[in-house]
Amino acid sequence: MASGDRPTMARSGRIQGGDAMLERNDVTGLPDLRTTTGRVAPVRSRRPIYLDMLPPCNAGCPAGENIQEWLRLIKVGQQEAAWRQLTADNPFPAIHGRVCYHPCETACNRKDLDAAVSIHSVERHLGDLALEQGWAFEAPSYRSGRRVLIVGAGPSGLSAAYHLRRLGHEVEIHDSAELPGGMMRYGIPEYRLPRDVLDGEIQRLIDLGVVIRGGTTVTDLLATQAEGNFDAVFVAVGAHLSKRVDIPSADASRMVDAVSFLRDVAKGERPVIGRRVAIYGGGNTAMDAARVARRLGAEESVIVYRRTIEQMPAHQEEREGAEREGVRMNWLRTITEMGSQDLTVEIMELDEDGRARGTGRFEKLAADTVILAVGQEADTSFLKAIPGMTFDDDVVRVDPVTLMTDVEGIFAGGDMVPSERTVTVGVGHGKKAARCIDKWLNQDRSRRPAKHPVVHLEDMNLWYFGGHARRQQQEQAPEERISDFGEIVAGLSPEEAAFEARRCLSCGNCFECDGCLGACPEDAVIKLGPGNRYRFDYERCTGCATCFEQCPVHAIEMIQENQ
């Protein structure tokens, strides 16, 4: 074996006196044996093993999708298998591909190589293909005989119902609205989420056996549970109540809250708002309201926000979408009074701690209507009479591990527990609650195994991967899309979706590139056939680490011989 140190990717190993003085590796937690000593010793002191690491996209998904695996299935042309893999965790790929803020892409290692894989657009492609092809969920093979009540037919409640039903339980959802979907139906505008897509993915749950009772408001939860002989309850009411703000007004009818405004438009109403509309707030709901106002004919749609653009809670893509459609942003302003023709706004400034404070200087802003979007709260008042239930303002206290409230058998999730209020977080809560409810019903006290360590870009061999430009979804021109509520973003073609899936780096998991097979000087790597990866023949292996050093995805680690 030729002498000379091999290149290393170890981030914590060090060499001293020709021997590897090893610390614990911060990727695997194993002793770091990845730096060679210059020659292979007569007696092997280390050996390679194959790993399955946690890719950062999977780790960053609030719905807990195995993103890397369903992308892999698309790569090999198995679209339906990819959809079934995806929907094992999330029943709404066509919805999420449109409305999720894709933190998986923020986490994607490829973003530091050229550009993140467009995971959300591939997910949408799969979801749309499933609707087109009529793919359905398989009926549960097991009946538990247990009944679970879910209050709220939003993303969290629907997700919990889906997973509970797949686990063999009977599930019944009660919701005060006539149609299911929660804020997906009554808060997200149609230009972002067409209603036929929403209805199509919800219908699969109904076909699976989930019972949804719309127009059914739960006022006494314990009585409803007893009357229906439900063994457990999951409460997932959305944040449908707008926070109130006191603004002196000469005409209160010219002030509306954003949630009611968006709900009315979703129901098909077209409220008269005038030519000039001001939206008070800086969140995603404010952006939606401002963009809807443009579609209702407002010539001027202005966001009034008391802080700066950096402090704005709205996602960047929502703000940029609004600006492209002609919505103006008025930073560091707060509304103090609404007159008959205009608003009085106070100019704000940031103090040394970054907090907005008034300056005592005022200006006028013309507005026919003011839409208030200063935040929402969940209506948890119907739970206040339950003995033992505890709250922090409008949110219910739950065990962060089990999502159970302080009342045995009653679980809660989504907008009504402390969390980020997004569709994907709600769907993730629903899946987690379903698993915890199932364990509670079965008196299962076992814990879920710990997740694998996350693999990072610096742990990989980048020489293997070339640069490939990310495929972009086409968008309708801003001047055209504000004329109606048609969908503004198009999906990828099948070829584009497959190309984008192939951009996945398969971080931390073997994809059978045969690099280790070809690199091993001792023929100690045995190929087991397509889909079965490889194994090491340790009778031949010398521990030289050649396989480890060439593995592009960090699916091989060197460990001590006696481990």
Architecture, CATH, for domain 56-136+451-455+462-503: Orthogonal Bundle (1.10)
Residue spans of alpha helices (H) in 18-92 = 56-60, 67-75, 79-87
Pairing between strand 276-280 and 300-304? parallel
The residues facing 301 across adjacent strands are 277
Same fold, 46-53+510-560 and 245-256+267-374: no
Q: Tell me, yes or no, if the pTM score tops 0.75.
A: yes
State which amino acid sits at residue 2. A
SS3 300: strand
Q: Which residue reads 């899936």 in tokens?
A: 501
pLDDT tens track for 269-294: 999 999 999 999 999 999 999 999 99
Residue 133 confidence (pLDDT): 97
- Enumerate residue ranges in the chain where pLDDT < 50: 1-24, 27, 31, 33, 35-39
Please give the CATH topology (third level) of the domain spanning 147-240+378-442.
Answer: FAD/NAD(P)-binding domain (3.50.50)
**Both tokens assigned to 467:** 């640069």
Architecture, CATH, for domain 46-53+510-560: 2-Layer Sandwich (3.30)
Residue 25 confidence (pLDDT): 53
Please give the CATH topology (third level) of the domain spanning 245-256+267-374.
Answer: FAD/NAD(P)-binding domain (3.50.50)
pLDDT tens track for 494-503: 999 999 999 9
What residues does each domain of the chain span?
Answer: 46-53+510-560, 56-136+451-455+462-503, 147-240+378-442, 245-256+267-374
Q: In the structure, how many helices (H) and strands (E) does the chain have?
A: 18, 23
Contacts 24+ apart (CB under 8 A), 36-39: 36/5, 36/6, 36/8, 36/544, 36/545, 38/3, 38/4, 38/5, 39/1, 39/3
**Residue 31: enclosing H or E segment and its boundaries?**
none
C-alpha closest to that of 177 among 220, 212, 149, 203: 212
State which amino acid sits at residue 349. E
* Gap between the Cα atoms of 296 and 327, Å rounded: 13
Q: Which residue reads 């002196």 in tokens?
A: 248
- DSSP single-letter state for residue 39: S
